[in-house]
Amino acid sequence: MSLYNALPTLCPVHGPPKNRQNCRHCNAAYMRGYMRTARRKRPARAILDRARHRARKNGVSFALSGKDILVPKNCPVLGIPLVIGGPRSNASPSLDRINPYKGYAVGNVRVISDRANRLKGGRSLSEIEALSRKARPNQRADYKAIAIYMEREALLIDVKRKALLGGSASPWIVIADFLEHKFRTFFD
């Protein structure tokens, strides 16, 4: 966390910054909170816009909003730090459709690195596993990591299905929530 992020979004006099017209501390605290939220939301917005554009171009259904896009620090597939902003690179965040036969929908997307997304493409698990053995040597480890990612996401989809069937008291809901967070932030 940067020093800037550590600064409070409360006014030292008024607490919640409700007196922005008359109190400069309120105004400063409000702006810190506003900028903090904007910084957090901006990468999600950019990822969403790119994905929506791709969806239109390829005739894929799209049912996501900004709140559905959670950006981890590191690529959950390859473990490399995601680089927000700047020119597109292997480390740019990119929205993967976990099941490429389904659209951009809640539960079927994960923010991963551009490199992982490109290597995965629309391939099946068995195709990726074959590539982890037969691809160029410098790519095999990445394909292996993609296979592991696909297997764990398939497990999560199954757990979520059980949670949905089980009703609100189902222990699968707790397990699904835990795995969802764990898988998103796997290398954070």
20 makes contact with Zn ion (CB under 5 A): no
Specify the 3-state DSSP secondary structure of 102: coil
Give the orientation angle of helix 137-166 with respect to helix 171-184, to 10 degrees: 160
Nearer to Zn ion, 25 or 140 (CB): 25
Q: Residues 54-73: x/- map of binding to Zn ion (CB under 5 A)?
A: --------------------
For residues 89 and 83, the answer to whether their CB atoms sit within 8 Å is: yes
Nearer to Zn ion, 25 or 50 (CB): 25
- Among 12, 2, 73, 69, which Cα is nearest to 35's? 2
Among 9, 10, 14, 74, interactor with Zn ion by CB under 5 A: 14
Give me the least distance between CB of 154 and Zn ion, in Å please: 51
E-strand spans in 50-133?
A: 62-63, 93-97, 104-105, 109-113
With contacts defined by CB under 5 A, name the span among 23-31, 83-91, 112-120, 163-171 that binds Zn ion.
Answer: 23-31
13 makes contact with Zn ion (CB under 5 A): yes
